[in-house]
Amino acid sequence: MISRIYSRFCQTLPAPEGSRGLLVAFSGGLDSTVLLVLAARFAREQGLALRALHVHHGLSPHADDWVAHCEGVCRQLAVPLVVERVRLARGNGDSLEAQAREARYQRLAAHLGEGEWLLTAHHQDDQLETLLLALKRGAGLRGLAGMVPDQPFAGGRLLRPLLEISRAELADAAATLPYGWVEDESNEDPSYDRNFLRQQLIPQLKARWPAMAQTAARSMALCAEQEALIGELAEADWLQAGEGEALRIAPLHGLSEVRRNNLLRHWIRRQGGEMPSRALLGLLWQEVALAREDANPRLNLQGLECRRFQGRLYLVAPGLAPREEVLPIGVGEALTLPDGLGQFRLWSSGGEGLRAPREDEPLSVRFQVAPGVMLKPVGRVGSRRLKKLLQEHGVPSWQRGRIPILHYGEQAALVAGLFVCDGFLAPEGGMAWEWRRAVTPDAD
């Protein structure tokens, strides 16, 4: 039995010369025990290094016994084992199930080397559970496509080589092995959604339709193909409408509603945002994109704000506020700016640059100028207020008051990234500067 599964296991894996080593997520349960045995054989035959990682969540009174069991299995298979202990926070609003999953993948990512493969023991019945949970959430194609067999992960690849194998087949194979496995008592608790599906709903579905897991897998594969297709369409539309991290509104008017929503989701995903509901996408279009010209609209999108400026949509961190600090800086120093605004550096270059300050001109970085102050950028005729100059340079309203302004005493000399003020440039013996912005959603 294990040999038949091994053949299918090998067929699902990429070419072995593409791997620098294997890491198996090993819980000690039935599924991951079979996976570890298969991986050990594959590693021996291909001459690949293999390690296993067990995450001790501390949720079960038997957790230490599970570690001992895993150590014993790995010792018999001659596979090095890493045990990671994590601490979960009860009562913080997140389910322990979700916390445990996130902690597990964080540890796995930390141990996966560049070019290595991470193998997990997800199987065909897990796919069916994933589909039913996605239907419960009202997920779109991406959710209905379920788990993919191969995807990039933490500098390597995450592979699920058992997705086409049923839990029953794995159980038959495990019964022929001498290692045994652990049973997590939490798997019997129907208050967890997956356990409810596994214990109560899926057995009824399979009793009525024995091939339910296989047919569901076919539907999920079709969803994955269609998701890939609309992803290609969204990328083509992005090439026409995207501009840096912003999205130009004008090209969106020529798209159908469904195609426009597809592009909006693609844009939000690129920025690392969570997928909004259809209703929220409708509000984004009506209340932000189509707001009157003199409005400054904003819409909360689950941790990010959608803003509009000069015909473009932006996603920014919520609650951005102007900064009021006065931060002393010396030549040759690197100043860390507040609120994730990055780093500002100033150093002697010897060439053209900012003139050296006089003794009565202490240097400081600020984010505002005094009320009523007029600035004259080098090369311009006449002075203007800072607000007007920022508008000319296309600086969105939420970034004003968040741009470093180098002051000589009480005089503004440099607005970082935009212009130098008249009277502060020197043709030689000058100072160079750099504003290294943090990679945050409020950068344009």
**Per residue in 83-106, pLDDT tens?**
999 887 766 556 777 788 888 999
- In percent, the amount of the chain with pLDDT more than 70 equals 97
pLDDT tens per residue across span 130-150: 999 999 988 888 889 999 999
119 contact partners, CB below 8 Å, separation of at least 6: 22, 23, 24, 25, 35, 39, 159, 160, 161
Please tell me the distance from the alpha carbon of residue 170 to that of residue 161, in angstroms, as a whole number. Answer: 12
Binding residues, by number, are 27-32
Question: Which pLDDT score, from 0 to 100, does residue 118 have?
Answer: 97
pLDDT tens per residue across span 264-287: 999 999 988 888 888 999 999 999
430 pLDDT more than 70: yes
Instruction: Give me the half-sphere count of Cα atoms (radius 13 Å) on the Cβ side of residue 215.
Output: 6
pTM: 0.70
Q: What are the angstrom distances between the C-alpha of 102 and each of 51, 88, 302, 323, 350?
A: 20, 10, 19, 35, 51
pLDDT tens per residue across span 48-58: 999 999 999 88
Q: Token match 């290692």: residue? A: 179
- The whole-angstrom distance between residue 425's C-alpha and the CA centroid of its chain comes to 42
Alpha helices in 271-423 (DSSP H): 278-283, 386-392
pLDDT tens per residue across span 325-372: 999 999 999 999 998 899 999 999 888 899 999 999 999 999 999 999
384: exposed, middle or buried (Cβ count in 10 Å: 0-12, 13-18, 19+): middle
Inter-residue contact 187 to 105 (CB < 8 Å): no
Binding residues for ATP, by number, are 27-32
Please tell me the distance from the alpha carbon of residue 228 to that of residue 222, in angstroms, as a whole number. Answer: 10
Structure-token pair, residue 309: 């400026």
Q: What is the DSSP letter of 292?
A: -
